[in-house]
Structure 1
Amino acid sequence: MLVRAAAVLSLFAWLPLAHAAEQSIPAGTEGQIEFNTPSDNIGCIYTAKGGTSTYEPQDGGPELSCSRVAPSYVTIILGPKGPATLIKNPGEQPCCSDATRLAYGNRWSEGPFSCESSTKGLTCTATNGHGFFISKAKVAVK
């Protein structure tokens, strides 16, 4: 029976995994892209290389910054190089504006970053392999 099950499973090994639908989110007047998760508990801002007239990322950008409201306020900043930075007490708490929602099951991509929204939380990665997972229950950076 085990051999038969393995044979059936191997038939489906070539099938591609389901991919999240790509969701386009328009940039604001300064070029930043803002989105929230459907729960409105997590909000993200993408800033292109060079920043805006009022904000320049620490390393010049691009930069992805995501904040979680509850159960505690945290911010994660991901740049194009190196691991994400977790700020456990960011002080300023601007999250979450009335931004476009990245629907569950959808993916957003811009520059070196991509994020996928699910009912479990938000997973974001950079092309360098670093990234983070953030949800109401957990925060993890790599």
Structure 2
Amino acid sequence: MPARIVSAALIATTFSLSPAFAANQTVPASAEGQIEFNAPSGNIGCIYMPKGGTSTYQPRDGGPELSCSRVEPSYVTVILGPNGPATLIKNPGEQGCCSDVTKLQYGNSWSKGPFSCQSSTKGLSCSGSNGHGFFLSKAKATAK
């Protein structure tokens, strides 16, 4: 077998075994429609609330709502609703984050309702269909 054919076969096999990049990752919802996911690092955790909320929590403006918290180096929470800019809370008081839930793998995206997030080794970037959003990483927390 010529070396060119062997090399082509080796390259094709290598790429077919590699994980897909930039895949839209599905994250299961609770019975009430709430969705939780974390960054693979375990430093960022997010909760999506459907429109109308759940039996235990209703978003301030009726929802839907995306809330993400970063643990280190300081605890911050960002809340994005369907209207207006994201709200960055630098000292949210409560500090429960990042339970053992689905990890939004690096390179993957997630979307539900008006929200979408992209996970990368640089951090988590999320936006709403209204053009507002936020970025969270260990080094940075911004909201627009």
Q: Same fold (TM over 0.5)?
A: yes
Q: Which runs of 5 or more residues in structure 2 are unaligned?
A: 1-20
Give the aligned partner of residue 108 of structure 1.
Answer: 110
Give the aligned partner of residue 93 of structure 2.
Answer: 91
1:37-68 deviation digits (Å, cap 9, x = unpaired): 00000000000000000100000000000000
Aligned pair count?
A: 124
TM-score, normalised via structure 1 length? 0.86
2:23 and 2:139 mapped to 1: Cα distance? Answer: 25
Runs of 4+ in structure 1 deviating by more than 4 angstroms, as ranges, are none
Greater C-alpha radius of gyration = 2
Give the aligned partner of residue 137 of structure 2.
Answer: 135
2:45 and 2:32 mapped to 1: Cα distance? Answer: 18
Give the aligned partner of residue 33 of structure 2.
Answer: 31
Confirm whether residue 117 of structure 1 aligns to residue 103 of structure 2: no
Letter in 2 for 1:23: Q
RMSD value over aligned CA atoms?
0.8
Give the aligned partner of residue 5 of structure 1.
Answer: none
1:52 and 1:70 mapped to 2: Cα distance? Answer: 28
Give the aligned partner of residue 5 of structure 2.
Answer: none
Give the aligned partner of residue 55 of structure 1.
Answer: 57
Letter in 1 for 2:26: S
